[in-house]
Structure 1
Amino acid sequence: MTQQSAAATPMSKEMQDCVQACMACHSICEETMSSCLRMGGQAPAQIMGALMDCADITRMCADMMMRRSPLAAEMCAMCARACDLCAEACAAMPDDAQMTRCAEACHRCAESCRAMASAMM
């Protein structure tokens, strides 16, 4: 199948759900970074780094799935790993409601991306 014909094929429900999970995760990571900065940057550098990595990779992963990139399966696997790391970092601040929401979104995205990576390989 050529790249052009792949792009013309409608996305599966699973891929649509994964794209949505990636975009939701991207948004909450961005919101969480902004929240941390408004609070005077009290989040440890490790958490900020995990948030930045996760925000970037989830957006890229969604983009690659939407354009049916031949690298999408590998990107989904890497995205799942970044989401796992971010969820773990955010869970280190359990008293912060924003961090808890972010960790939950990262867990959902990691699960979806892991399933998508398996389905595409």
Structure 2
Amino acid sequence: MATATANYQDCIEACNACLADCLACVEGMLGKESMNDCPKCCLECVAICRACVEAMAIGGEHAGAFCKLCAEVCQYCADQCGAHDHDHCQKCAESCRRCVESCQAVAA
């Protein structure tokens, strides 16, 4: 299991950063209007990032499948949040894009 965790370390770090930035985006959007699915997409992103980290941390049989889905959800979130000018949305979108790259590398 230690080997699996070591192989996943970059992706785990990207998912954890994405999770934190998505939560900050949700908080930043409180009381603000949204013309799209932000911040709802952030909550979905948080859920899949958390599940993905847990699957990788235990070297789970389906960690790659979690990573594939995580990349899809994070790409959607990056698109939604990236459409807003708020600093927290832009930071969230950037973090989501990094997570997409890391997850795609693990899922491949």
Q: TM-score, normalised by structure 2?
A: 0.92
**What is the CA–CA distance in structure 1 between the aligned matches of 2:90 and 2:5, rounded to whole Å?**
31
8 A Cα contact 2:36 2:80, kept in partner: no
| 3-state DSSP of counterpart to 2:20 | helix
Structure 2 unaligned residues grouped into runs of 5+: none
Q: How far apart are residue 44 of structure 1 and its match?
A: 4.1
Which residue of 2 is the match for residue 32 of structure 1? Answer: 25
Q: TM-score, normalised by structure 1?
A: 0.83
Matches within 5 A, 1:39-118: 40-44=31-35, 46-93=37-84, 95-118=85-108
Q: How big is the alpha-carbon RMSD for the aligned residues of Structure 1 and Structure 2? A: 1.4
How many residues matched? 108
| Large movers: runs of 4+ above 4 Å | none
Q: Deviations over 1:1-58 (max 9, x none)?
A: xxxxxx244633x510100000000000001101111xx1423461122111111101
Query: Match of 2:87, as an amino acid?
Result: A
Q: Specify the structure having the higher radius of gyration (Cα).
A: 1
Overall identity of the aligned pairs, in %? 35
**What is the CA–CA distance in structure 2 between the aligned matches of 1:109 and 1:18, rounded to whole Å?**
7
**What is the CA–CA distance in structure 1 between the aligned matches of 2:82 and 2:4, rounded to whole Å?**
36
